[in-house]
Amino acid sequence: MLYYIKADKFLLENTAHGDGYLKVENGRFGELVSDIPDGVEVVDWGGHTVAPGLFDTHIHGIKGYDIMDGKLDSIQEISKSILSLGVTRFLPTTLTSSKEDLKRAILAVKEAVQGGLEGAKSEGIFLEGPYFTEKYKGAQNPSYFKNPDIAEFIEWQELAEGMIVKIAIAPEMDNATDFTKELSKGGVLVSIAHTDATYDCCKETVDAGARNYVHLFNGMSGLHHREPGVVGAALSDPRAFAELICDGHHVHPEVATMAYKVKQDKLTLITDCMSAGLMPDGNYYLGEYPVVMKDGIARTETGSLAGSTLKLIDGVKNLTEWSGEPLYKIWHRGSLSPAKSLGKADSLGSIENGKLADFVVLDEDMVVKATFIEGVIKYIREESI
């Protein structure tokens, strides 16, 4: 399959390129050119912007469905629902739960992926827990917290047939360093989360191979001038990526902007979206926790934030507005940075010759008009037909 995309603007990694034609051949991007050969197929999106597909590396659910449902239908519906939001790749994300529930969720993701997802493609499973500390538990059930266990992880990974690519732990837990070394050697992205660790403890865990901080500022010890804490470790270490939820509730806009200025391409925009995403206000669940959503904000019965209902494209819009940075720079924090964090930037995350042709068509208001995966259209907004 060979065609050229015509658009007014293309969001490239280092610039917003003007009018031109982008070659797509056999599901991969080709060159961006100003002239094309006679007789070739042209997909005309004149008046629109073409951007790389977004990659949500931390999403629990959406539209009433949760990864922890442990059902193939839930995985499929999440996969399909995020297409309209410009997301082409995602990591189905679990919660701290019983061993049986985690096994059921892992099996559901594996079977759904092996059977073929109809929407956005999964790039692996993210286990958020159960190796956390209670002080910063957030919306995680502390009755299941435990110390990192390599044998247990191997059991889960064998069940997943190698699909677990990311796991979050509290680095102050017993055996965290050895656990991190072992998993990192196997290519799993060990991440720091729900933790009261000191700066030195975090540094030791990064020295052991951890390379990511989960939802920066949330579920972790804060920055103090005499003890930098987890936040200080995340901001100061250039080796590690840091996730950010840019909904304006989890992190103040000025703090989010500061984090971007410090981390730059090591900042990863995520949603941490739960089942209430794209749904009306009301009562929902995040795993086992009853959650009330009011004015689009999801909280537990005790008032703690419970994930988010953020659309990743809105996170991009928000940080672009808050920071005053060009859209192409912030967009890639939701596409290329996630791919880099998982070692997948050679094939995903930006419009570059040879990469998989995952892309999104945007109108002037940043509304998603169409979403393509590997060059094939997977979603088109009804009025665009």
Say what the pLDDT of residue 384 is: 65
48-72 tens-digit pLDDT: 999 999 999 999 999 999 999 999 9
pLDDT at 382 over 90: no
Integer Cα distance of 189 and 167 in angstroms: 6
Q: What are the CB-based long-range contacts (under 8 Å, 24+) for 151-155?
A: 152/99, 153/179, 153/183
Strand partners, 376: 373
355: nearest Cα among 9, 12, 102, 47 = 12
Say what the pLDDT of residue 304 is: 84
Q: Specify the pairing of strand 61-62 against strand 267-270.
A: unpaired
257-299 tens-digit pLDDT: 999 999 999 999 999 999 999 999 999 988 778 899 999 999 9
Q: How many residues comprise the chain?
A: 385
Integer Cα distance of 60 and 67 in angstroms: 6
Integer Cα distance of 331 and 313 in angstroms: 8
296-351 tens-digit pLDDT: 999 988 888 889 999 999 999 999 999 999 999 999 999 999 999 999 999 999 99
How high is the mean pLDDT of the chain? Answer: 96
Say what the pLDDT of residue 270 is: 98
Residue 168 near residue 214, CB atoms below 8 Å: yes
Residue 131 near residue 176, CB atoms below 8 Å: yes
Say what the pLDDT of residue 305 is: 87
Strand partners, 127: 167
Which residue is listed with tokens 């996630």?
Answer: 338
Confidence of residue 374 (pLDDT cuts 50, 70, 90): very high
Integer Cα distance of 167 and 10 in angstroms: 34
Q: Specify the pairing of strand 289-294 against strand 297-300.
A: antiparallel
- Mark out the alpha helices in 62-148 (DSSP H runs): 72-81, 99-115
% of the chain exceeding 90 in pLDDT: 92
Residues 6 or more apart whose CB falls under 8 angstroms from that of 22 comprise 4, 5, 7, 10, 29, 30, 31, 32, 50, 351
Question: Which positions are annotated as active-site residues?
Answer: 272
Question: Residue 230 corresponds to which tokens in the numbers above?
Answer: 């987890």
Q: Specify the pairing of strand 368-373 against strand 376-380.
A: antiparallel
Q: Among 25-39, 185-199, 253-267, 277-291, which stretch is predicted with the lowest mean pLDDT?
A: 277-291
Say what the pLDDT of residue 139 is: 85
171: nearest Cα among 193, 139, 156 = 193
Integer Cα distance of 190 and 11 in angstroms: 30
Residue 150 near residue 164, CB atoms below 8 Å: no
Confidence of residue 385 (pLDDT cuts 50, 70, 90): low
Residue 266 burial (10 A CB sphere; 0-12, 13-18, 19+): buried
* Cis bond before residue 280 (omega within 30° of 0): no
Q: pTM for the full model?
A: 0.97
Say what the pLDDT of residue 300 is: 87
- All domains of the chain in start order, with CATH: 2-51+350-384 (2.30.40.10), 54-341 (3.20.20.140)
Residues 6 or more apart whose CB falls under 8 angstroms from that of 35 comprise 21
- Radius of gyration of the chain from Cα atoms? 20
Integer Cα distance of 16 and 4 in angstroms: 18
Q: What is the DSSP letter of 53?
A: P
